[in-house]
Chain A
Amino acid sequence: MSVDLSVRNASAGPQRAADALLRCLGGRAVLLRLPTNAVSGSDAEQLGTGSPSYEDIPLSPAVFRRLRPKLRDGNTNQYELLISAASVHAQLGLMELASTDQLFAMATGIFVDGELMLIEAAAEAEAFGCPYLYRLILAAPRNQTL
């Protein structure tokens, strides 16, 4: 069994190509909603009586589309969001986070067209070990009638 140890330099080429494709497909901006830090040692926060604040982080270009619905009772609509990796990585640097998993785990959802959607899954597409696109599966809130 051989191991491929050849050096492959990561370049911004795939990211630029992905950004161009996202813009061609109607690239838009979405907001990643992040709660601000809770108050340490506060019983009110843990008992659900605190008033959490949040900040919205803009991400673009992104493409948002509805997935084919599964026709089962109780299912909420699911959506797919393709986001530019360059945009996500810029926020990682600003927030001093180690990974995008951490960023998406911290988020309470993605704000799209006035609706807060829950992040159900996140995956990345990469070339030469460098992500160029993030794909998120979003769920619509239960009270949304689409």
Chain B
Amino acid sequence: MQNAQNTFYITLRNRLVALNPNRTIYLRGITRPGILVESNEFVVAQPPSNVFVMRWIGLHNDPYLSDVLLQMECEIAYMTEGSTGNLGMDRGAMLTQMDAELMSLLQPNTVQKTNYAPAPAVPMETQIFWSEASFQPLKVERDRLSRIATVSVFSYEEPGEQ
């Protein structure tokens, strides 16, 4: 399960670097791609803007299958106040850009599962795959626009995998 979650995050991160290298976040003294897993970072009062914030919120296991197929719900939240240069009046356009980027990041919707615990990372036997994103309605909080997209990620548990 952890391998699938890590693989999904690293895949989206690497695709974001290729798609929009300017979407970055300055976090703990370094600049890195603008996507993070919320539970892997320090607790903050509110999520950062202009980056993708991933949360693993659901888990489902079908007991009628011969192999263990896990379905994990991943929530991807993103928000923006626009740019200060445009006095925030481009916040709608910036959110639309993030919508489009997320759709691009999720294609293709399958990738080789990888174990990132050892260094270098080790490719595993199976692949993970995921559904189309389900986009929730826009949420407006003063000058901040935000949206949450949900993706179901599927992964077969391999022998010995935790």
Contact = CB atoms under 8 A, between A and B. Distances in A.
Contacts of B27: 38
A36 B29 contact: yes
B116 A43 contact: yes
Interface stretch (A2-10, A24-32, A59-67, A118-126): A118-126
Most buried by B among A47, A49, A52: A47
B120 to A, nearest CB: 10
Contacts, number: 49
A37 B37 contact: no
B29 A43 contact: no
Given A37-B29, A37-B30, A38-B29, A46 B36 contact: yes
Interface stretch (B5-13, B105-113, B134-142): B5-13
Given A46-B13, A47-B40, A48-B37, A38 B30 contact: yes
The interface size bin for chain A is 20 to 34
Contact of A46 (B40, B45, B119): B40
B100 interface: no
B55 interface: no
A59 B30 CA distance: 25
A49 B3 CA distance: 12
A108 interface: yes
A35 B28 contact: yes
A37 B40 contact: no
13 contacts: A35-B29, A37-B29, A38-B29, A38-B32, A45-B28, A47-B10, A47-B116, A48-B39, A48-B40, A49-B117, A52-B28, A108-B42, A118-B43
Interface of A: 35-40, 43-49, 52, 108-109, 118-121
